[in-house]
């Protein structure tokens, strides 16, 4: 189904607020503070989200709509008609924040005709030469409207039932309580530290007594399998991934969504950057560190440097991961 509902059907659930946010996992995690602002600013309103369903469920909306649904295609065509279920989804929104590139104002016009309340369309891409963090850019339209500001880092806490997938992995594999989790993937190959470097890092950490797990996602399934001197887990969705990350003593990964998710869960996060600017795109959290490769070339980042940073973060006295 394109529409997923929790509670009353669209159009009969009372007042609601909405956020449209496409993009990858990290994009959505960085949008959590804005969603939090809207929840606090509109108490008693249902939350409706448009985006990738597996990511949207991290924010526990009352209703959601798949951003890639064919039903939404008319939103991007001037004066095109929409199906009754889609119209109902927007029909009683008091406020809608849509993150979208909309230079011709087509989406803005279509949403204004659908939504009875206020509509803001904001480009999620920062302007050229932007020097701040992307999370600050995403909050700009809410600050302009005078809505209360959130705590800067995204924050996420799982419900007990959302931890079940990781719990089953721990039982099946007999895993220890606080492993180091590594995610060697990213949306772009140029942002990836070589698989052989991850393997070398895992081997050296294991020689020091750390338990290491490799976490792979759908993107990595399309690439050559990395060497795996440690157990490999393939969570089927974002909630399952979060349940793994929540247990980590340390997360090590590239500039990608799992790093933002680990940071939002409050776990120590070591992010390896190359061609992208960590000032703009680094994860935000209580214990985050970035290493940037020389000249932006990920293969030039030495294993020794990453190992030293990982050892330092593991030595910090931090809150333990969530219990099994």
Same domain, 178 and 306: yes
CB of 206 closer than 8 Å to CB of 127: no
What is Dmax (Cα atoms) for the chain?
Answer: 63
pLDDT digits (tens, 9 = 90+) for 243-293: 999 999 999 999 999 999 999 999 999 999 999 999 999 999 989 999 999
Average pLDDT over residues 134-153: 86
CA 2 to chain centre: 21
Note whether residue 31 is domain-resident.
yes
Q: Is 30 helix (H, G, I), strand (E, B) or coil?
A: coil
Note whether residue 320 is domain-resident.
no
Note whether residue 262 is domain-resident.
yes
Average pLDDT over residues 76-96: 94
pLDDT computed for residue 322 by the predictor: 64
242 closest CA partner among 43, 60, 5: 60
Residue 230 neighbours by CB distance under 10 Å: 20
* Count of structural domains within the chain: 2
Same domain, 246 and 274: yes
Pick the last residue of a domain from 117, 144, 171.
144
Note whether residue 57 is domain-resident.
yes
Same domain, 117 and 176: no
Pick the last residue of a domain from 144, 169, 202.
144
Sorting pLDDT into bands at 50, 70 and 90, what band is 177? confident
Averaged pLDDT score across all residues of the chain:
90
Res. 57: pLDDT tops 70: yes
pLDDT digits (tens, 9 = 90+) for 200-256: 999 999 999 999 999 997 666 556 556 668 899 999 999 999 999 999 999 999 999
Note whether residue 153 is domain-resident.
no
Same domain, 171 and 276: yes
**Using DSSP, how many helices (H) and how many strands (E) does the chain show?**
13, 12
Average pLDDT over residues 135-164: 89
Same domain, 128 and 183: no
Q: Is 272 helix (H, G, I), strand (E, B) or coil?
A: strand
Res. 153: pLDDT tops 90: no
Q: Looking at beta carbons, which pairs linking 224-230 to residues 24 or more positions away fall under 8 Å?
A: 224/195, 226/184, 226/195, 226/198, 226/199, 227/195, 227/196, 227/199, 228/199, 229/199, 229/202, 229/203, 230/202, 230/206
- β-pairing, 16-21 vs 3-5, is unpaired
Same domain, 200 and 134: no
- Token readout for 69 is 């649904």
Same domain, 179 and 225: yes
Res. 9: pLDDT tops 70: no
pLDDT computed for residue 11 by the predictor: 44
Same domain, 203 and 72: no
- Token readout for 255 is 């500039």
Strands (E), the chain: 3-5, 16-21, 46-51, 63-66, 93-99, 118-122, 180-183, 212-215, 232-233, 250-254, 269-273, 288-292
CATH code of the domain in which 52 resides: 3.40.50
pLDDT digits (tens, 9 = 90+) for 31-54: 999 999 999 999 999 999 999 999
pLDDT computed for residue 1 by the predictor: 37
CA distances to 32, 50, 52, 154, 173 from 262, in Å: 14, 23, 19, 10, 22
Same domain, 133 and 14: yes
Pick the last residue of a domain from 144, 171, 187.
144
CB of 90 closer than 8 Å to CB of 96: yes
Same domain, 170 and 137: no
Note whether residue 215 is domain-resident.
yes
State which residues form the domain around 303: 160-315
Q: Is 56 helix (H, G, I), strand (E, B) or coil?
A: helix
The distance in angstroms from the start CA to the end CA of the chain is: 33
Note whether residue 154 is domain-resident.
no
Same domain, 21 and 134: yes
State how far the Cα of 123 lies from the Cα of 126, in Å rounded to an integer: 7
Note whether residue 151 is domain-resident.
no
Same domain, 191 and 298: yes
CATH code of the domain in which 206 resides: 3.40.50.2000
pLDDT computed for residue 261 by the predictor: 97
pLDDT digits (tens, 9 = 90+) for 94-125: 999 999 999 999 999 999 999 999 999 999 99
Greater confidence, 181 or 6?
A: 181
State how far the Cα of 65 lies from the Cα of 85, in Å rounded to an integer: 10
State how far the Cα of 109 lies from the Cα of 112, in Å rounded to an integer: 5
Greater confidence, 147 or 277?
A: 277
Task: Tell me the whole-structure pTM to 2 decimals.
Answer: 0.92
Sorting pLDDT into bands at 50, 70 and 90, what band is 87? very high
Residues contacting residue 121 through CB under 8 Å, at least 6 positions apart: 98, 100, 102, 105, 107, 108, 111
């Amino acid at each position: 189904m394109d529409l997923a509902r929790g509670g009353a059907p669209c159009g009969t659930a009372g007042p609601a607020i909405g956020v449209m946010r496409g993009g990858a996992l990290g994009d959505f995690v960085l949008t959590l503070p804005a969603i939090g602002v809207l929840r606090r600013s509109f108490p008693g309103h249902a939350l409706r989200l448009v985006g990738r369903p597996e990511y949207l469920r991290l924010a526990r909306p009352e209703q959601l709509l798949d951003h890639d649904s064919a039903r939404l295609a008319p939103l991007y065509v001037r004066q095109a008609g929409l199906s009754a279920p889609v119209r109902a989804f927007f029909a009683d929104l008091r406020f809608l924040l849509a993150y979208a590139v909309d230079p011709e104002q087509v989406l803005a016009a279509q949403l204004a005709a659908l939504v009875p309340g206020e509509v803001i369309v904001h480009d999620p891409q920062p302007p050229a030469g932007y020097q701040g963090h992307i999370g600050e850019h995403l909050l700009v339209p809410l600050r302009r409207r005078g809505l209360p500001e959130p705590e800067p880092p995204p924050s996420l806490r799982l419900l007990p039932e959302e931890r079940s997938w990781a719990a089953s992995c721990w039982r099946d594999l007999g895993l220890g309580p606080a492993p180091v989790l590594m995610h060697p993937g990213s949306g772009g190959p140029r942002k990836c530290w070589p698989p052989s470097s991850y393997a070398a890092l895992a081997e050296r950490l294991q020689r020091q007594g750390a338990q290491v797990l490799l976490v792979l996602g759908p993107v990595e399934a399309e690439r050559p399998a990395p060497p795996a001197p440690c157990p490999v887990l393939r969570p089927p969705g974002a909630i399952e991934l979060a349940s793994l990350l929540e247990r980590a003593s340390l997360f090590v990964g590239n500039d990608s969504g799992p790093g933002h998710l680990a940071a939002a869960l409050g776990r120590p996060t070591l992010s390896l950057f190359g061609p992208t600017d960590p000032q703009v795109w680094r994860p935000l959290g209580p214990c985050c560190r970035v290493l940037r490769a020389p000249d932006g070339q990920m293969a030039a980042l030495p294993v020794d440097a990453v190992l030293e940073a990982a050892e330092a973060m593991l030595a910090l006295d931090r809150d333990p991961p969530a219990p099994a």
